[in-house]
Amino acid sequence: INVPRSRFLPVKKTSDLLLVMSNLYTLDHGSLMMSPKRMFPSTPLVKLGENNFKNVSAFLSRFGSIPDLLELDHITVSGDVTFGRGVSLRGTVIIIANHGDRIDIPAGAILENKIVSGNLRILDH
């Protein structure tokens, strides 16, 4: 049986799951379609750290909501990183939390062509 890619998008890793759950794809009569709002037809390159994003439950616990990926080219995430609700990722984004550090991307943040490293925690008061 041959199934066209429009009906089947393999999800082998949580990086694939991030793409499928994002606003890059819509479901149209049982077929996954690239959003017409995306300016180019290629999918972004997504690299999520093995230790903190390996299984689905750990992956889901790190997102307040799945970020907007419509304008994303490439994202690399490594270490203890969490994303708030309504985050938008654009261009090339690299987020690296060093061993023992934690990075919390705040709700509503727009990261465009950024490198975030070290330790970042923004707390509501």
What are the distances in angstroms from CA 100 to CA 49, 51, 74?
15, 13, 25
Strand (E) or helix (H) holding 83: strand 80-83
Strands 25-28 and 31-34: antiparallel
Burial 88-120 (b: 16+ CB within 10 A, else e): bbbebbbbbbeeeeebbbbeebebeeeebeeee
37 is catalytic: no
Please tell me which residue in 12, 47, 54, 114 is annotated as part of the active site. 12
- What amino acid positions are annotated as catalytic residues? 12
